Every structure is written in C-alpha cells, then in structure tokens.
C-alpha cells in the first residue's frame, strides 16, 4: 500500500503539470499579443501627439500665409491679374501643344504598331531563314561527306590516270614506230602507184596508137572501097559510086582537152558527141553552119574510146 500511494500521486501531479503547460501555452500567446498591442498603442499615442503639434504649427503657418496673401492681393492685385492672364494664355498654348503631342503620340503609336507588325514579319522571316540555314548546314554536311568520297575517288582516278599515262606513253612509242613503218609503206605505195600510172599511160599510148592505126586503115579502106546507093525512084539494081572523104573544113572547134577518140552524130544530124583521153563526153549542136556546146558529161575512170546514140530516142535541141 505504501508503494502504491506515491505512484498515483505522481501520476496525478504529472497530469496536472501537463494540463497546466497546455493551458498556459494558449494564454502565453494571448499575453504576448497583448504586450505587442500595448507597445503599438503607446507608439500610436506618441505619433498622435506629434501630429497634433504639427497640425497646430501648420494652422499657424496657414494663417500667416493667408495674411501675407491678403497683403499681397491688396498691394499687387493688378500685377497678379496680368500674370494670371499670361499664365492662362500659356496654359491655353500648353493645351494646344498637348493636343498636338497627343496627335503625335497617336501617330507614333500607329507607326509603332506598323513597326511591330514589320518586326513580327521580320522575325518570321528570320525563323524561316534559320530553318533554311539549319537545312543548309545539314545539306552542307552531306555534301562534305560526298566531297570526301569524291576526293577518295579522285585519288583512285589519279592513280588510274598515272597508270593510263604510262600505258599511253608506251602506246605512243609503239604508235610512232607504226607511223614510221606506215611512212615507209606509203612511200613504197606511192612508188608503186607511180609505176602503175606510168604503166597505164604506156598501155593507153599503145592502145591509142593501135586505135589510130586502125582508124587510119579503115579510112583508107573506105576511100578505096566501092559502095552501092539504092534509089527508090530507080530500078532495084544498086548504083556503084566511089566514096570520098570531105576535103573542106565546115567548122573548127576545140572538142576535148586532149586527143579525140570518137565522134558520133545523132539520127537527126543536128547533135553530135565527142570523146577523148580527158575522160569527158561533150555534146554539141550543129545548126545553120554554127557549132555550140550543148552539155558535158563526166565521171569516167579512163579515156572514152567510143560513142553511140540510141536511134529510138529523140534529143532536144
């Protein structure tokens, strides 16, 4: 019992102390706030006293100023009226300037709005240009990579070009040798061609001489031979007569550039052709004792030795 007695007392004492602390905490805040309010009230009372003194001083100064104003008005009222008039004019001018300034402010605000709009458009353009710049930078990066690849390709091509140049030099040396051989062959070919041409000329000369000899013999035989002419009005028996070459020159012409190998008239007897060693065939018209060139045919590879006309084709004059 002795041990249990002090324990419950201590518990009650402890609980009372705790309750006292809790309740005292509420009143402590109230006391603290009261003390602070008391200090504020004292401060406000001091301020009120000071303001009352200042108000009294101001009223005294006001009364003195009013007295001075009354004195000034009584002495210099006219001057003040003039000054007031000038001041009113200045105020009017200031109002007018104020209106002008207000209009200027409105104009400046409008210009400022326009500048803001322009600035916004410029900002949009700048943003677009920045986007383009970024895109160009990306493209430039890709192009730089391509350039690096192209430089590597260029190095490879340079190496290949060097090898090709070496090959070209070797081929050029061979080409020079071939050109020298070709020149030698061309010289030999020219010599052979000149020999062939000389042989052809000799052959043409021989053939020409044979032809001339044959023509001479044929003409001689024709002069010495007898021909028969049939006359439709006479009997059917042929009449013997001697043929003869013409003795008088009817027309003299330069038919061809070299010797003339053949001359032949058309069936009409007004056009004849001449051919010779100049490889040309010329047609002439013979009318009323005059002989004129009609046309010249070229394209033969050798001398023309004979001419003939188709009897079924008529030749225009």
All residues at 6 or more sequence positions from 161 whose CB lies less than 8 Å from its CB, including other chains: none
Q: What is the pLDDT of residue 122?
A: 86
How many Å apart are CA 148 and CA 298, to the nearest integer? 68
pLDDT value at residue 316? 58
Residues paired with 281 in a beta bridge: 275, 297
Q: Which position has the higher pLDDT, 249 or 52?
A: 52
Q: What are 64's two structure tokens? A: 């003195």
- In whole angstroms, give the CA distance from residue 83 to residue 111: 40
pLDDT at 166: 92
Does position 93 have pLDDT exceeding 80, yes or no?
yes
**Residue 240: which residues within 8 A CB-CB, separation 6 or more?**
226, 227, 228
In the DSSP assignment, the letter for residue 267 is: T
Model pLDDT, residue 235:
47
Quick: pLDDT tens for 128-169. Answer: 888 888 988 898 889 999 999 999 999 999 999 898 999 999
- 219-265 pLDDT, tens digit each: 777 666 655 545 454 444 444 444 455 567 777 787 777 778 888 88
pLDDT at 1: 43
**Which pLDDT tens digit goes with each residue over 276-313?**
888 888 888 888 878 888 888 887 877 788 888 887 77
Is the pLDDT reported for residue 99 higher than 70? yes
State the Rg of the chain over Cα.
Answer: 73
Nearest to 248 by CA among 289, 286, 219, 214: 289
Minimum mean pLDDT range among 28-42, 194-208, 268-282, 288-302? 28-42
Question: What are residue 291's phi and psi, to 5 degrees?
Answer: -120, 125
- State the Cα–Cα distance between residues 257 and 260, nearest whole angstrom: 8
What percent of the chain lies above the pLDDT cut of 90?
7
pLDDT band at 6 (very low <50, low <70, confident <90, very high): low
> Is the pLDDT confidence value at 98 over 60?
yes
Q: Does residue 36 surpass a pLDDT of 60? A: yes
| Average of per-residue pLDDT values in the chain | 80
Report for 11-25, 88-102, 167-181, 273-287: range of highest mean pLDDT: 167-181
Q: What are the pLDDT digits (tens) for 68-80?
A: 777 766 655 667 6
């Amino acid at each position: 019992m002795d041990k249990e007695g002090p324990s419950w007392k201590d518990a009650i004492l402890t609980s009372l102390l705790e309750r006292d602390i809790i309740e005292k905490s509420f009143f402590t805040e109230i006391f603290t706030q009261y003390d602070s309010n008391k200090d504020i009230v004292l401060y406000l009372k001091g301020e009120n006293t000071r303001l009352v003194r200042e108000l009294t001083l101001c009223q005294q100064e006001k009364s003195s100023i009013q007295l001075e104003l009354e004195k000034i008005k009584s002495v210099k009222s006219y001057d003040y009226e003039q000054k007031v008039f000038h001041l009113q004019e200045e105020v009017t001018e200031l109002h007018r300037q104020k209106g002008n300034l207000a209009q200027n402010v409105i104009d400046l605000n409008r210009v400022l709005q326009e500048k803001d709009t322009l600035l916004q458009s410029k900002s949009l353009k700048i943003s677009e240009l920045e986007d383009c710049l970024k895109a160009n930078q990306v493209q430039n990066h890709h192009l730089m990579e391509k350039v690096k690849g192209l430089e590597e390709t260029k190095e490879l091509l340079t190496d290949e070009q060097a090898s090709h140049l070496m090959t070209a030099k070797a081929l050029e040396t061979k080409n020079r040798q071939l050109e020298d051989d070709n020149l030698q062959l061309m010289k030999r070919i020219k010599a052979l061609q000149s020999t062939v041409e000389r042989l052809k000329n000799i052959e043409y000369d021989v053939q020409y001489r044979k032809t001339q000899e044959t023509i001479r013999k044929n003409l001689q035989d024709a002069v010495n031979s007898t021909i028969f002419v049939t006359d439709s009005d006479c009997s059917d028996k042929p009449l013997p007569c001697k043929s003869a070459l013409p003795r008088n020159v009817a027309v003299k012409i330069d038919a061809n550039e070299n010797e003339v190998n053949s001359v032949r008239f058309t069936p009409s007897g007004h056009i004849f052709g001449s051919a010779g060693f100049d490889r040309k065939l010329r047609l002439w018209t013979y009318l009323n004792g005059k002989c004129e060139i009609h046309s010249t045919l070229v394209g033969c590879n050798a001398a023309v030795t004979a001419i003939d006309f188709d009897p079924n084709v008529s030749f225009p004059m």
